[in-house]
């Protein structure tokens, strides 16, 4: 329902644009040919309820092992939360960060009567970040975070223009993100090492509306859902100054940590300014 509401808002905004911009223009060649665009807007985080940290305590490549103290109790019994930890004493977290985004786009449309088909590539950056935290009985907190250094997508789009002037379309295709991962902990005993940046691959899909305001310039409003998958980020926990009875060391001298969800999902609402050749 949230996504449908956004699409309705996109269409309504386009319909409300001044009709005077279309008066006196030849609309027969609207949305036909190459164009370049600048795109900007906001990125909203999806709900990641239930995400946790998962552990490989014997480093055999299989995650889901329990981390236990010497007596067998769960060392992470306080639990997990979606977000970055704000305390070590309880499972308090701040929400994931919604933020702005900006992109450049190159595309080509082919108009066939009232129907338009096309393809585009775009690249840019969103400043939104996604975190998950775990809490041990020490007490200590462990937080994994990620955001994109840059993102890109190659998509198709298809739409309908009621006589030129305005275009209503859907779009979808492949997406890529170079993800910047980080790890923070209040545990000062063990050593921690990670593999830093990773590659996320997935798809982007959405829809929008675009209105010609001159023969060459158009304004648009778009909703886009992006889902990138990344399961390559790992934190390696070593001994540091911790004794052999440390929960991370009991099953062979170290533990690997990952996020339980490989998906980095975002919702974007963005405007565009395009120049058509």
Q: Where residue 3 falls among pLDDT bands split at 50, 70, 90?
A: very low
**What average pLDDT score do residues 165-175 get?**
97
106-141: pLDDT as tens digits:
999 999 999 999 999 999 999 999 999 999 999 999
| Stated pTM of the model | 0.88
Angle, CA of 237, 243 and 248, to the nearest 5°: 30
Q: Which of 230, 181, 232 is nearest to 201 (CA)?
A: 230
CATH code: domain 2-18+31-276 is 2.40.160.20
Residues in contact with 1: Cβ distance below 8 Å, sequence separation at least 6, in sequence order: none
Q: What integer pLDDT is reported at residue 92 of this predicted model?
A: 85
Q: Where residue 89 falls among pLDDT bands split at 50, 70, 90?
A: confident
Q: Which run of H or of E encompasses 14?
A: helix 2-15
9-68: pLDDT as tens digits:
544 554 454 444 455 678 888 999 999 999 999 999 876 678 999 999 999 999 999 999
Tokens of 272: 């565009």
Q: What integer pLDDT is reported at residue 116 of this predicted model?
A: 97
pLDDT of 2 > 70? The answer is: no
pLDDT of 267 > 50? The answer is: yes
**What average pLDDT score do residues 176-183 get?**
97
pLDDT of 4 > 90? The answer is: no
Question: Which sequence spans correspond to the domains of the chain?
Answer: 2-18+31-276
**46 or 264, which is more confident?**
264
pLDDT of 101 > 60? The answer is: yes
pLDDT of 145 > 90? The answer is: yes
Q: What integer pLDDT is reported at residue 88 of this predicted model?
A: 85
Residue 233 contacts residue 259 (beta carbons within 8 Å): yes
Q: Which of 240, 169, 176, 247 is nearest to 209 (CA)?
A: 169
Q: Which of 47, 35, 56 is nearest to 255 (CA)?
A: 56
């Amino acid at each position: 329902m949230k996504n449908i509401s956004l699409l309705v808002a996109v269409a309504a905004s386009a319909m409300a644009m001044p009709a005077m911009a279309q008066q006196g223009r030849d609309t027969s060649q609207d949305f036909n040919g190459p164009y370049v665009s600048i795109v900007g807007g906001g990125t909203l985080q999806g709900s990641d309820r239930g995400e946790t940290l998962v552990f490989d305590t014997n480093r055999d490549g299989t995650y889901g092992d329990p981390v236990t103290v010497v007596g067998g109790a769960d060392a992470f019994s306080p639990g997990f939360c979606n977000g970055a930890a704000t305390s070590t004493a309880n499972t308090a977290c701040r929400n994931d960060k919604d933020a702005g985004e900006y992109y450049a786009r190159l595309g080509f449309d082919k108009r066939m009567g009232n129907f338009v088909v096309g393809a585009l590539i775009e690249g840019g950056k969103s400043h939104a970040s996604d975190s998950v935290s775990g809490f041990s009985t020490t007490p200590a907190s462990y937080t994994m975070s990620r955001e994109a250094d840059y993102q890109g997508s190659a998509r198709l789009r298809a739409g309908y223009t009621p006589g030129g002037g305005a275009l209503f379309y859907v779009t979808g295709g492949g997406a890529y993100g170079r993800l910047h991962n980080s790890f923070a902990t209040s545990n000062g005993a063990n050593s921690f090492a990670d593999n830093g940046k990773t590659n996320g691959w997935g798809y982007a899909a959405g829809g929008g509306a675009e209105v010609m305001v001159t023969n060459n310039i158009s304004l648009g409003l778009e909703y886009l859902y992006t889902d990138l998958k990344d399961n390559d980020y790992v934190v390696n926990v070593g001994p540091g100054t911790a004794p052999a009875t440390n929960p991370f060391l009991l099953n062979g001298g170290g533990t690997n940590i990952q996020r339980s969800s490989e998906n980095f999902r975002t919702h974007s609402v963005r405007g565009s300014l395009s120049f058509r050749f």
